[in-house]
């Protein structure tokens, strides 16, 4: 067992994406430490368990399953790196854990360019009718006017996360569900942001970011983002619209991961096809190791 773990959330529709990402972490990310998968109860995680990978089954589905990344279960590791499935790895993952350890931060994420309230309004088509609820949100969580934390990556120390954070996140979603509707653009991100906003630190050195920011025209000095313009991100978020498993036309955005000079979809399919070789099924004795 390593001190650090890479954590992925997947329901059955995302099993293949999680497998491809695990191979990416090993191959492009040079990661030889632990993985753990969160799955909604009722999903079959045997493909991971058979390979000695922990699966934590949780009583929530959809984006609420992601609230469980803050479960006390993860205290068996010193550091946790949650990552979305719709990303590609292009550099050594240890750099992220080094940053967490050297900075002393509790939680590290990448901050978006727009205020949180903009995200809420974008997904809540009826936000004009919900102004009384937004007044409550603004009063209780005034940082909703600040730039939202992107939760495609959450790098953190589980020891500093209180026992009841998952319950607090579930309760907040229950309270504000009308403005953060599941299946209609609601996301874990809005809820995690209002609860933990002030405890999160910006990732340095553009270590992880939206893919467009690592395109040649996006590698620019930006005081606003705190970037020099010569950073080398170790992983890129494609978002579901540009996901690596989407086969794109050669003229489309996010067709190539430029630093690797690889077609995103080809890298994804190659990684997926390598999973069985890279993560062989363990015998009973081996899987009892930890």
Q: Between 152 and 166, whose beta carbon lies closer to Mn ion? A: 152
Taking the complex as a whole, how short is the minimal distance between the CB of residue 67 and Mn ion, in angstroms? 16
Gyration radius of the chain's alpha carbons: 19
Q: Closest residue (Cβ) to Mn ion?
A: 84
- DSSP letter at 205? T
- Residue 63: CB minimum distance to Mn ion, A: 11
Positions in the binding site for Mn ion (CB under 5 A): 84, 86, 152
Residue closer to Mn ion (CB basis): 134 or 208: 208
Closest approach, Cβ 239 to Mn ion, in A, equals 5
* Residues in CB range of 249: below 8 A, 6 or more apart: 255
DSSP for 88-149 reads EE-S-THHHHHHHHHH--SEEEEEEEEEHHHHHHHH-TTGGGGHHHHHHHHHH-GGGGSEEE
Least CB distance from residue 34 to Mn ion, whole Å? 22
Whether 71 and 37 have beta carbons less than 8 Å apart is answered as no
- 52 contact partners, CB below 8 Å, separation of at least 6: 282, 286, 287, 289
Nearest approach in angstroms of CB 290 to Mn ion is: 30
CA dist., res. 173 & res. 160, Å (int):
22
Question: Contact at 8 Å (CB) between 153 and 208?
Answer: yes
Choose between 26 and 237: whose C-beta lies nearer to Mn ion: 237
Residue closer to Mn ion by CB (options 34, 84) is 84
Whichever of 124 and 188 has its CB closer to Mn ion, that residue is: 188
């Amino acid at each position: 067992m390593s001190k650090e773990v890479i954590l992925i959330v997947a329901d059955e529709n995302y099993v293949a994406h999680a497998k491809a990402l695990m191979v990416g972490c090993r191959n492009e990310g040079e990661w030889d430490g632990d993985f753990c998968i969160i799955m909604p109860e009722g999903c079959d995680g045997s493909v991971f368990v058979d390979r000695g990978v922990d699966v934590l089954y949780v009583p929530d589905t959809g984006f609420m399953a992601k609230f469980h990344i803050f479960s006390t279960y993860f205290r068996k590791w010193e550091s946790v790196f949650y990552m979305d499935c719709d990303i590609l790895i292009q550099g050594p993952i240890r750099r992220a854990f080094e940053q967490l350890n050297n900075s002393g931060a509790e939680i590290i994420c990448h901050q978006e360019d727009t205020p949180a309230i903009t995200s809420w309004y974008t997904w809540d088509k009826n936000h004009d009718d919900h102004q009384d609820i937004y007044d409550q949100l603004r009063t209780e969580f005034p940082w909703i006017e600040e730039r939202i934390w992107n939760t495609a990556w959450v790098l953190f120390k589980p020891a500093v996360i209180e026992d009841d954070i998952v319950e607090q996140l579930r309760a907040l979603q229950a309270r504000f569900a009308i403005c953060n509707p599941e299946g209609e653009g609601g996301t874990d991100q809005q809820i995690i942001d209002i609860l933990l906003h002030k405890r999160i630190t910006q990732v340095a050195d553009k270590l992880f970011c939206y893919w467009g920011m690592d395109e040649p025209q996006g590698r620019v000095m930006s005081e606003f983002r705190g970037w020099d313009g010569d950073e080398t991100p170790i992983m890129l978020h494609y978002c579901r619209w540009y996901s690596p498993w989407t086969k794109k036309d050669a003229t489309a955005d996010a067709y190539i991961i430029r630093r690797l000079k690889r077609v995103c979809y080809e890298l994804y399919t190659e990684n997926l096809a390598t999973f069985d070789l890279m993560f062989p099924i363990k015998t009973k004795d081996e899987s009892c190791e930890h």
